[in-house]
Each structure stands twice: as C-alpha cells, then as structure tokens.
Structure 1
Amino acid sequence: MKNISKFSFAMLAMLSCQQLIAQQKSYTVTSPDNKVKVTLIAGKQINWSLSYNGNEVIQPSVAAIRLDGGEIIGNNVKVLSNKTLTVNSKFEAYNYKKKIVTENYRQLTLNCKGGYDFIVRTYNDGIAYRFVLNKTKPVKVMAEDANFKFADDYKVFIPYAHDPRLKGDYYQTSFEALYNEVPLSKVIADSLAFLPMLVDLGNGAKAAVLEAGLEDYPGMYVVKNKDEQHALKADFAKYPAKEELRRLNTLVTERTDYIATVKGNAALPWRAVIVAPDDKTLLNNDMVQKLAGPSRIKDVAWIKPGKVAWDWWNDWNISHVDFKAGINTATYKHYVDFASENKLEYVILDEGWSNSVDMTKLNSAVDLKEIISYAQQKNVGIILWATWHGVMANMNGIFKKYADMGAKGFKIDFFDRDDQKVTSSVYKIAETAAKYHLLVDLHGMYKPDGIQRVYPNVFNFEGVKGLENSKWALNDDVPRYDVSIPFIRMLAGPMDYTPGAMRNANKASYRPINSNPMSQGTRSHQLAMYVIFEAPIQMLADNPTAYRREQESTNFISKVPTVFDETVPLLGKVGEYVAIARRNDDTWYVGAMTNWDARDLEIDLSFLSKGTYEAEIFKDGVNADRDATDYVRELVKVSAREKIKVHLSSGGGWAARIYPAKQ
C-alpha cells in the first residue's frame, strides 16, 4: 500500500505539472530588424525575457499588478485572444533634437481573462511593455511587480535616490546623484535608485532601464532583488496620507497602503529597456518620444524655445553699475538689457520676486508690471519662478493673473517626489499652463516621462545634478558626470542642467563659492554643453557682468539654438568623452567634452552636405590645464571630406558652429 501511494502521488504530481505546462502559452515578438527578441510565458505568471543579437540580456522576469481585494493582474493568466501589429511611420517632433522621429516596431497584445491587456512592443533599439486595465470602475493599485533579472553580473551605472540632507520620508528626493558604477551584485541592498540607469553588457553593448507615461501613476524606483542573482525590482512611493509644508518643500509625513487609484480603463506606464551596440548610439535614442502620446495642444505656434538670462546661480552679483544689485526692479531691467543685447529670448526671475507660499504677494522692491512692460519693449519674455506648493494652492488664479500681466511662463521648483499626487499634478500644470499660453520649466523634479511630447509647452526637467551644485559641492567628479549624463539621463529627455559658467577651474583650483561660483573643467567644456545638453529653454547661468567681460564666448552661446532638425552622434564612451553634431536649418553645431583625462579625438565632418563651409571653433588653449578659462577661437574653412583632429585638455571641451561659406 505504501508503494502504491508513493506511485499515485508521483503520478498526480506529474499530471499536475503537465496540466500547468499545457496551460502556459509562449509568445515571441521580434523587432523589425530581428535583432531584438522578447519571449513571453503566460501561465501561472507573466514572465518576459529579452535577447539582443542572439545574446540573452534579461532572463525570465515577472510582471504583475496587485489590486485591492487581493486580485493580482498577471497571475494564473488565461489568454482570451492575441493580436499582432506592425507599425512603420514617422511623426513630427516639437522642441526636440530632431524634426522627424521614425516609429518602427512590432506589437503583441494579449487580451486576458480578468479585465486587462498585456502589451509588448519590440523596436530595433529596445522593448517596452505595459498593462492596460479593462475594468468597469476605478481600482486601487496596491503594488506593482516589475523585475529586471539580468543574465550576468554586469556593471551598472546607478543613481541612488537618498539625499542625506532630507530626513523622514523614504521617497522624498531631489533626483540628483552621481552614478555609482558597480557590478549588479554590489548594488546596495535596500537603497532606492531612480531612472534611467545604464547596464554595460560587455563588448561595447549597453542596456538602459527607463519608463514613460507616468500620468496619474507614481514613478518607478529600482532596488536590489535579494531573492535573485543580478536582479533589480521596482519600488513605488505609496500615495500620501498627510503632508506638511516646511519652507519651500511639501514633505509627506504619512503614506497610505496603496500606490495609486486609477480609472477602470487606465493604460499604466510603459516599462522599457533600451539596447544599443555601442555607447555612441545611445546619444540619438528616441524611445521616450516614441512611447509618449501625441500632442494635446493643437496650436503650438505660440510655444517658443530659446535661451534665458538667469539670476539665482550668480547670486544677482552684477557689478560696475550705478544701482545696488539684488532682487529689485533695477537689477531685473539690467538682466533684460543684457538679454536684449545678446538676442536671448527670456529672463527668469527666480526666488524672491514674490512670497513663495502665496504668490499673489509681491516683493515691494520688484515692480513686476514695469519689468514685464520693459521686457516687452525689448522683445524679451519674462519667466517667473514658483514652488510646486505655491502653484497648487491656486493654479488657475496664479496662471491667469500673471499671464494677463504678460509673463511667458513659470519655472516651478521643489516637487522632490514622484508619487501619484505629484505626477498627476504635473499633467494638470501642463494642461492649465497651455490654456493660458504659458511655458513650463520643471525644476526640483523627476526625470521626463514623455509629457514633453504630450504637452510641448513643457520644456525642461531637472532630475540632474546640474551646475547649481558647484555652489556647494566640493568632492563631486563633475567632468566625469558631464560625460555620463548624455548617455543615461538624457535618454529620458531634456535636462535643466543650467550651463554657462565663465569662471572655470581645473581640479586643483576649484572650490565652491556661493556668490562667485565656478565650474569644474574648461571654458570650452562649458560652451560645448550648449550643443550636447538637450534643453529647449537653455539657461545662461552666469551674470551679465561676467558675460560682457567674455563677450566672445557669449556671442557663441547666443548663436546656438536650443532645438534642432537633426542629430548625429559622433563619438562617445560613457564616463569618458562625448561628441555630437546637431543641425538647425543649414548650420551645424558640434560639441565635444572629456572627463579629467586629456585626450585627442578625430571629428569626422562627413555629416556635412557638399560644398564649402566656414567653422567658428572654440578649443582649449595651450595653458587650459593650468588656467581653465584659456581658450582659442579660430575661423577655418572645412568640407565634408575632412576630419578635424581635436585636443581636449583635462576637463576640456571643443565647440564649433559650421555654416555655408559665402560664395
């Protein structure tokens, strides 16, 4: 009897296993060029895996959504139907690094019992998946299971979210961090990291993890998955239950037990993995643009990108004038004069022009109507700084009041979170600002998620450890970071890095000074940022006095557009060097930067059309390794047949404007 029982148990176990296997369904989705492949297993769970060029990148990883009441979307999957789709089209991009974006992918949609779809797309440069709910009423999302189980112990460039200056809420962060470069096995346990993050697959290939479409849903962090080797998993901020205003920040003091309440027919965010054969290819990636929806603004003619004279970084520290510089009318008129002289489109009035909590209360030293009127006469637009809390207190009233006064936009600061309350508010801010023809610059902010395509009046996002940190940070390796973010952070979209320092320092001479801040690296390194760093509204961070003293550099900055018709990646190795060419009309702009290592590069000009061109070049001077402000400007004739040899000093750069030569 004992033997029969063992035999029966074994048979039952085998039959159960066979039944489970029979219930599982396997699907394969390949990219149009057949180099990217996703394999889906839909059974007890949804598992997806990714291979690139025949090599396994991500091993089977679970995707699921847990709703209130215990329902788990993605468990015990029963596929009712499946549908495939192939798309090969193009769309016009607004305020972007190129005019036309090509959209070429294959898509699989699994319609599943339980009221949801699971959608997978494969592009030639990566994959994306999302859940779409087909419920009849709103639901609470308690948690999301998103996993990235890499095939080996690859090196990862990972930005940790924790800011030691902030206490309390685990998810309160500035989204500013240098990259921790470690094997996946050495990722710090229980430490949140934000996206995008980059994984080195070896032999030059790279993979980047990011997301798109955060409307009404919290942003995704990643943490080490201690139950799997070489794996990361998603973490999300719970919805806030209680908040408290502390000076400029709204801090969460208590959170609920769920991450979001969503509509019954909600399309949840895209989870995406970009793949590239080499570092250089990452410099021209459009994944977030492709995953975002089309523009919701029909008439975009009023949306004008451009450059901005900015006051805060330079501490309003202008000199050789006959008035007391500071947050006052005379100082802002001076900034307007400077902007007008140099054909800059905007001036920002940063913190101090109004009460940061009640924005209807103006600083008595600032006659805003007079400043706006003066700026209008000089063809300069005024952008106003605000806190997220201040805007949310009376969004319609504030936007209408200052739009009626003639303001052109708002720089909104101190979001410092990406829970559902904040991400939902960002879309509402964009929509309401568009109603009043206002531009939006999002500072103190998480990375872009595609809203910049949905609402083209949204220009910039911070979510980057920008130049402002040079006012206080002593030990940051900034040049290395500068040549890392074009391959990682910029995959998500534009950055409010705020370049333009005219006081430049090498490694030995740099020190943080609040009122006269300097940059790490050379002058040409700063000028190259205007070509390399994407920002439809790009700052001039230094003060008018410094720029007038360095008019030759200022002239170059003023001529570089902030949006382009075409982008061509030239050279690049993450953390080491980068070179990019961008075209606007018939003029090309080229930028190159290095880390603290001096190096020689060769810039191939074959991106030029036939004919003779003139190039205005700014390069590191022979003594730039000792005095980082040392540069040389030269004018040379060039053509598409040439390759220019470029020497970059330690922390150096190279920038050029190339235009058709006059016949």
Structure 2
Amino acid sequence: MKRLFLIAAALTAATTTSAREYTVTSPDGKIEVKVSTQPELRWSLSRAGERLLEPSRIGLTLAGEAPLGVAPAVRSVRTEAIDTRSTAEVPTKFRELHDRCNELLIAFRGDWAVRLRVYDNGAAYRFETARRGETVVEDETAEFNFASDNDTYWTRERNPDFISHCEAFFERKRLSELERSVYAYLPVYFATPGGTRMVVTETDLEDYPCMFLFGGEGRRLRAEFPPVVLESRLKEGSDRNEEFLRKADYIAVTEGTRTYPWRVVTVDEDDRALLENYLPYQLASKAVEGDASWVRPGKISWDWWNGLNVYGVDFEAGVNTATYKYFIDFAARYGLEYILLDEGWSVSTLNIREPRKEVDLKEIVRYGNEKGVGVILWTLWNPMKKDLTGILDTYRDWGVKGIKIDFMQRSDQEMVNFYEQIARAAYDRGLLVDFHGSFKPAGLQRKYPNVLSFEGVYGMENDKCSKDITPAHDCVLPFTRMVAGPMDYTPGATVNATAADFSVSWSHPMSQGTRAHQAALYVIYESPLQMLCDSPSHYLRTPEFTGFIAAVPTVWDQTAALHASAGEYAAVARRNGDRWYIGAITDWTGRDMEIDLSFLGEGRYRMQYFADGVNADSYAQDFRTGEREVTREDKLNVRLASGGGWAAILTPVK
C-alpha cells in the first residue's frame, strides 16, 4: 500500500473524456486488456487472439458513497511504458528482475482511479482512492468471467468464517463442475482449451483482507472477502482455535488515501513458461530501507516430522538438550545453517518465553554458535500477539536467529496486519520469519527480506496422517501454490514407498514416491528457508542422499524451466553463482525425459547426478549416483521411475 496518492498528477492534468472503452497491450503485443466504463467498470483479457476473460465487473464500495465502478465519470486517462530493472534481496527465481510493461491509469470523478499493468506474461489491476482520514470499505467487486469452460485446480474450502490453514488438496475440475457450497483460496490455476495457462492471485496485500474465489455459476467466478472481526476468543480447551463472537458488515477500515492490492492474472503459453513467471513478486512493494545483509537463507534440520526419533546414541531421545545438540552436530557436519525447535520446547504453548526444564536453551544456542548453526523457535501466534515486542526482544537476547510462527488460520484485515507487524518487529531485531498455518505469500516477502517462507500448502507433514501427498500432488504445486511465492513444503524423507507399500504412521512417517523424487524437490520447490524433515540418524546412514540435498542452495540467480505438465511432471534448471542445478519429478507414471543442457555457459561442467535405481519402480528407496563431464551441447536421456525423480549438480571445470 502506498500512502502517497499516485493519481494526483493525472488529476491535476485532468480532462473530461467521453470515451467508454480503453485498450492497453503487453510490450510484445500478444496480451490485450480492454476496460469499459459504462454502464459499469469492467475489464476483459485476451492473448494472441484467444479470448481469456469476457468483460468482468470490478469495483469498490466505500461507506457513505455510491459504489465506485457503477456509471463512473472519467476525468483523465494516462498511459505509460515502464521498463526498469532491480535486484531481488532474496531471489527465489531470478536475482536480476526486469519490470517491463505498459500501464493504463484511469482517474475518475470523486478522487479515485484504477491502474492496470499488462506484461508479456500477465496483467494486473488495482484501485486507488484519495479520502481524508479513515474510510470504511464495505465490499469489493472482482469477477472473472472466463471465456471458456477451463480446467482448474480448485481447493474445497467450506468454513463460513474463512478460517483455514490453506492446506487443502487441489482437485482438477472444469469451471462448470464447481459447486456454490465450496470456495478456493488463492492462487487458482486455469488451463484453456487453446493451451493458455493462467493463475489468479493477489499481491501487495496490506491493511486489507485476503481474496477468495467462489464458483458454481458456470464460467463465472466471483470474489469474497472475510469481514472485519470485532470480537473473538479461543475455543474452550484450545490453545489455538478461535471462534468469532462478533463480525462487522464491512471488510476493512483503512486509510482513505491509499493503493489497494493488485489483482493478478498470470498468462503463459504453457505450463513450462508458468514455472518462470514471477509477476506477483514484481508487483509487490520493494524492500523497506535498511541493511538486509544479515538475512541468511539456508536449510534447517527439523524435529517435528520425525518426532525427535534419533537412535544409536547414548542418551534418551526427546525434547531435551542432548537431542538438540545431536541435531546441531548433524547440521554442522553437513553445513546446514539452522535447527528448528518446534512445538514442545516451552513450558506451554501459551508461555513461549520460558523453556521447559529439560531444554537448556541458552546452552543450545551457545553450542549452535560454536558449531556455526543457528537456532529457530516455533511459536503460536496468539501469545505473540499479546506481547510481540517483549517476546521478540527476549528471543533476540537469547541469540535465537528467527521464529516459525504458527496457526494463524485467518485471512481478515486484522490478521493481514498482524503478519506485517511480525515481519517489521522481527526485521528490526535481526530475526527471520517462517509463517505456518498461514495464507499464501502476497508480497510481504519482498517488502521484508527476513520473511523467508510461508506454509499455506498441503505439504509433506501430512504424510503423518494422510495418503493425499502423492507424486501427482507434488507435480501440481509448482503450478498452483508456488506461483504466489516461497513454499515451505518440508521435503527430505528417507523412508520412501510405492503406492502399494505406503502406510500412514505418525511416529515413523514415510513419503510416497522415490528417494530421487525427494532429492529433486530441493531444486524444484522454492523456499529460501528449506527443511530437512527426517531424523538425523536416518540421514547419517544415507550419506550420498544427505550430502546431495545439503549441497543444493535455497536461493537462485536464474531459472530455466525445461519440461512441464501440471499434475504430471516438471523439470527445472536453476543457477546459483556459476553452478547449475537440475530437478525433475513425475507422477505415478514412469517416463523418459530429455534434458537439453543448452542453458549452460561455455566450457565443460562436472555433473553429479542422483537418479532412480533400476528397481525404484518396486522399491522406492532404490537410487543410484554418478558423475560425468558435460557441455551445453549435450542432451541427456533420463529415466524417471513411477513416482520418480532425477537431480543433478553441475560445476564448471576450471
């Protein structure tokens, strides 16, 4: 949200116009957006002659005013070609960013405007208003009237209060098959009959609720927003689940002079191009002023998924100092930057300033510092809300490096604001943030570089209680949830199973798909704070696997998508410094894949690869490793087993 009113210049040079339709195209001329103002404000979208969105209503309803967008009177119109470059503080796709688009700004009588930007890979619009003092936003109108009965990946949410971890299963549906009784959180993916791929999401979300989409009306989707929560409390007997006692009949109380969130539609010619799309990050506010050089992305040895089940040791494993020192020793051995003390380290989940007596936190932090391993602490959001600065001051004084804050489960204005309060307060104290039980990224990670990851995904932690986290599901996520931003999926399982062999186990969890599938996820899934979910004892017994995933970075200078089909397979190459990394995964269908190495620079590279073993189709833990020299002229023929994967690290030969 920008508090300097951005349409002032347009208004001072305003001239009344009688035109009712305006057009803006992408720099390459392929994507076209049309905006009509009568009788209502609507926009439409097409690409290369394929109609994508039919005229769709957009508008804003402020208390005490006629709805903005109904018979609006245009005061001025301005177009601008934008072509700027910047550098990502914490790059997840590209370090160097090229912001190239054409912009249309339409200012209306009544001191408000709509700003549209059209890129070669998508389009976005946002509202801007100029009002003195605060204003009450009663509602926002956002329709998506698709021109075709597209396929979509849709999440089935039902809670009437929009309470959600945003950890639902993506179901492939036609628009015409959607039910009125369920809704989807963002982002939402669409595939047209003509081959175009779209994702609807939002970014630059500040002081405003999240947007959700409802279907059940043919090809038309409409947005709804959580209302302001006036009074809430924890449910009886719960430390984290709330009930709402009073809700307002409006969605936000906010500054009257501001910009509103961008409504984003990415547009790509195929799934492969979608994997390189970073439009939500481009449109987000740039980083706050200050030195962010202290922000250290990296990998974490995590305790919760494996239940602290370590073995072959001379101490009793559990939530205690000795076990966490063991985690630190493991992390130090493999160059991992952090360990995470998840739920259980404190005397209670509501008292997160006092470690339990078995956990000598100061000694754990001291020992970690000695070994070059930082400590991150899990916290509930509710006690943090009550004493944010006091708790974070305590953590900073303890020498903790960051927090994993959990179970927010809400998407209303108050909660969106709380995310920013956490990000700002942590940034000021040199602390990293990982949001769990959260909604998707919506630009906060660009504004505050210490915000390294978000959950908001049906990730691998659910293998402990569900059979849903299949290789096919893994092949959906890069085209859906990950389009919004970093995704804390928590890969790294060492116990791997075929569909026939998989079983749910809370205390001894396993993953579906092969070991090489797990290795490849470290390249494909974007998260500057990336977990190693399994027991250090398991990792120590499979050094080829552990050494490989420990060598994969968590930030990327360049991304080159190689092959992609949502729900079926994905192959991506990424560069960090002068090294390239490749990851490829498939669903339960085994397949052969050609990896064209033309993205490499000149000269020879030493390639270390991690591949499915000969028997991986029947024994998912079977893998093989090897090395060879390659150049950019080479094309590799790679075999992926059922539920399989392939990964490689390519280092220039000096």
The TM-score, its normalising length taken from structure 1, stands at 0.94
Whether the 8 Å CA contact 2:463–2:469 is kept in 1: the answer is no
Q: Which amino acid aligns with 1:200?
A: A
Q: CA deviation at 1:98?
A: 1.6
Q: Provide the rounded CA distance (Å) in 2 between the counterparts of 1:483 and 1:432.
A: 36
Whether the 8 Å CA contact 1:250–1:389 is kept in 2: the answer is no
Q: 1:251 to 1:94 in 2, by over 3 A?
A: farther
Q: CA deviation at 1:201?
A: 1.0
2:440 corresponds to:
447
Q: Deviations over 1:14-57 (max 9, x none)?
A: xxxxxxxx966110011111111110011331010001111110
Q: CA deviation at 1:442?
A: 0.6
- Is the deviation greater in 181-190 or in 307-316? 181-190
2:146 corresponds to:
150
Q: Which amino acid aligns with 1:233?
A: R
Match of 2:570 among 541, 564, 578: 578
What CA RMSD, in Å, does the superposition of the two structures yield over aligned residues? 1.2
Q: Which amino acid aligns with 2:451?
A: V
Kindly report which structure 2 residues correspond to 1:624-643, keeping only aligned pairs within 5 A, or say none. Answer: 624-643=616-635
Does residue 1:237 correspond to 2:229, yes or no? no
Q: Deviations over 1:591-641 (max 9, x none)?
A: 000001011100000111111111111110011011100000011111110
Q: Which amino acid aligns with 1:428?
A: Q
Q: Which amino acid aligns with 1:421?
A: E
Does residue 1:34 correspond to 2:25, yes or no? no
- Is the deviation greater in 507-516 or in 358-367? 358-367
Whether the 8 Å CA contact 1:169–1:253 is kept in 2: the answer is no
Q: Which amino acid aligns with 1:183?
A: R
1:119 corresponds to:
115
1:3 corresponds to:
none
Q: Provide the rounded CA distance (Å) in 1 between the counterparts of 2:425 and 2:43.
A: 39
Does residue 1:396 correspond to 2:389, yes or no? yes
2:510 corresponds to:
518
2:106 corresponds to:
110
SS at match of 2:560: strand
Q: Which amino acid aligns with 1:447?
A: K
State the identity %: 42
Q: Provide the rounded CA distance (Å) in 2 between the counterparts of 1:230 and 1:510.
A: 38
Whether the 8 Å CA contact 1:381–1:408 is kept in 2: the answer is yes
Match of 2:208 among 208, 217, 222: 217
Whether the 8 Å CA contact 1:447–1:461 is kept in 2: the answer is yes
Match of 1:365 among 354, 358, 381: 358
Match of 2:181 among 175, 178, 190: 190
SS at match of 1:528: helix
Does residue 1:299 correspond to 2:294, yes or no? no
SS at match of 1:72: coil
Q: Whose radius of gyration is greater, 1 or 2?
A: 1
Q: Which amino acid aligns with 1:518?
A: M
Does residue 1:461 correspond to 2:457, yes or no? no
Q: Which amino acid aligns with 1:134?
A: A
Q: Provide the rounded CA distance (Å) in 2 between the counterparts of 1:297 and 1:405.
A: 26
Match of 1:310 among 298, 302, 305: 302
1:418 corresponds to:
411
Q: Deviations over 1:400-435 (max 9, x none)?
A: 111011000000010111110111111111111011
1:497 corresponds to:
489
Q: Provide the rounded CA distance (Å) in 2 between the counterparts of 1:621 and 1:94.
A: 39
Does residue 1:200 correspond to 2:191, yes or no? yes
Kindly report which structure 2 residues correspond to 1:37-186, keeping only aligned pairs within 5 A, or say none. Answer: 37-96=32-91, 97-162=93-158, 169-186=160-177
SS at match of 1:202: coil
Q: Provide the rounded CA distance (Å) in 1 between the counterparts of 2:500 and 2:337.
A: 36
1:656 corresponds to:
648
Q: Provide the rounded CA distance (Å) in 1 between the counterparts of 2:463 and 2:569.
A: 21
Q: Deviations over 1:248-277 (max 9, x none)?
A: 233434321111111011211110111111
Is there any run of 5+ residues in structure 1 with no aligned partner, and where?
1-21, 163-167
Q: Provide the rounded CA distance (Å) in 1 between the counterparts of 2:414 and 2:184.
A: 20
Does residue 1:271 correspond to 2:263, yes or no? yes
Q: Provide the rounded CA distance (Å) in 1 between the counterparts of 2:338 and 2:86.
A: 29
Q: Deviations over 1:62-118 (max 9, x none)?
A: 001111225311112011111111111111012222210110011111111112111
Q: Which amino acid aligns with 2:366?
A: S
Is there any run of 5+ residues in structure 2 with no aligned partner, and where?
1-16
Does residue 1:385 correspond to 2:381, yes or no? no
Q: Which amino acid aligns with 2:31?
A: V
Q: 1:187 to 1:225 in 2, by over 3 A?
A: closer
Q: Provide the rounded CA distance (Å) in 1 between the counterparts of 2:607 and 2:245.
A: 56
Match of 1:282 among 274, 277, 295: 274
Q: Provide the rounded CA distance (Å) in 1 between the counterparts of 2:370 and 2:354.
A: 25
1:566 corresponds to:
558
Whether the 8 Å CA contact 1:483–1:577 is kept in 2: the answer is yes
Q: Which amino acid aligns with 2:647?
A: A
Q: Provide the rounded CA distance (Å) in 1 between the counterparts of 2:245 and 2:594.
A: 54
Q: Provide the rounded CA distance (Å) in 2 between the counterparts of 1:614 and 1:297.
A: 40
Whether the 8 Å CA contact 1:43–1:78 is kept in 2: the answer is no
Q: Which amino acid aligns with 2:166?
A: F
SS at match of 1:73: coil
Q: CA deviation at 1:178?
A: 1.8
SS at match of 1:546: helix
Whether the 8 Å CA contact 1:225–1:233 is kept in 2: the answer is no
1:487 corresponds to:
479
1:592 corresponds to:
584
Match of 2:20 among 8, 19, 25: 25
The TM-score, its normalising length taken from structure 2, stands at 0.95
SS at match of 1:284: coil
- Is the deviation greater in 110-119 or in 341-350? 110-119
Q: CA deviation at 1:225?
A: 5.7
Q: Provide the rounded CA distance (Å) in 2 between the counterparts of 1:152 and 1:285.
A: 23
SS at match of 2:258: coil
1:259 corresponds to:
251
Q: Deviations over 1:194-220 (max 9, x none)?
A: 111111112432111111111110000
Q: Provide the rounded CA distance (Å) in 2 between the counterparts of 1:645 and 1:297.
A: 47
1:9 corresponds to:
none
